[in-house]
Structure 1
Amino acid sequence: MLLSFASARTTLVAGLTALSIAAIPATPALAWGDKEQGFVAGAATAIIVDELLKNNRKARLYDRGYTAAGPTYVAPRTVYVEPRHVEPRATTSIYATPAARAFQSYSLAERKAIQRNLRAWGYYRGGIDGAFGPGTYNAVVAYARDEGASANLRSTAGAFGLYDGMIY
């Protein structure tokens, strides 16, 4: 049977393609350098680490009682406690504390300097007005706690020592 021109042409193109592939040396093997190997190693490492993190997350959720269906429900136990009368505790206003009394004895400029330093050290977020309020009180208490001088705020003399350390 005679081959048509189109099928002869297709056969010729396929033959030339096969011949050119066989004749060209294996250049892709030469292009597989250190950078390519590093890229593949990095991608494989990222995939492995991702799977490890997923497994760790699943294990932690399982330990907390979560499953694929969601958290497991545990019905709370009903505990009846007999109410008892508690005397109200006497509360002290922050304005009557030794820290407040010592703070108010300083001049306005010194009180502002204390607030400015507390703000610079990250303890105070209020306005620099020289007034002793809840913000200043909380900042002074936090500063004293971090400095290990919480006991100083129990007396006016100790509070003066703490404030003098902030100013001078």
Structure 2
Amino acid sequence: MFTTVKSARTAALAALTALSVAAVPAAPALAMGDKEKGFVAGALTAVIVDELLKQGRQAREHRREPVYGAPPVYAPAPVYNPAPVYAPAPVATTSIHATPVARAFNTYSLRERQAIQRSLRASGYYSGAIDGSFGPRTYNAVVAYARDAGARNNLQTTGGAFAIYDGLIF
């Protein structure tokens, strides 16, 4: 009995192999020309694009706007009117190092900053050390130079300060 099952199984496997070889014709695949291949490629492209569009529609359908609950309602705060306290208004002080004049000065190289100080000293506006550091003396000298040159408003912007410094260097 075991041999009959084995021989029936072998016969079935042989038949299946013969059918698969016969079912795969090699000749038509080789007979396809450029037009046929182009048609098949176009059909496959259409199928792929259609599938991508379906996935995009499904993704948009799943994205829904969030649903928010009602905003909270707060009870009014109790009215409390203490006596007003008056304090002096704070005085706005700006460091000279935060001005456009300082920002522009510090972008130059050390040699250029020293050249600016030398020009200010030669013009009689600067009396400090030629160290290339921006401090109160350099600031006061630049402001006085710009005022006398009629360019005081240039110091309000970094670009204007660059114009004054470039005039001192070159």
TM-score (norm 2): 0.49
Instruction: Select the structure of larger CA radius of gyration.
Output: 2
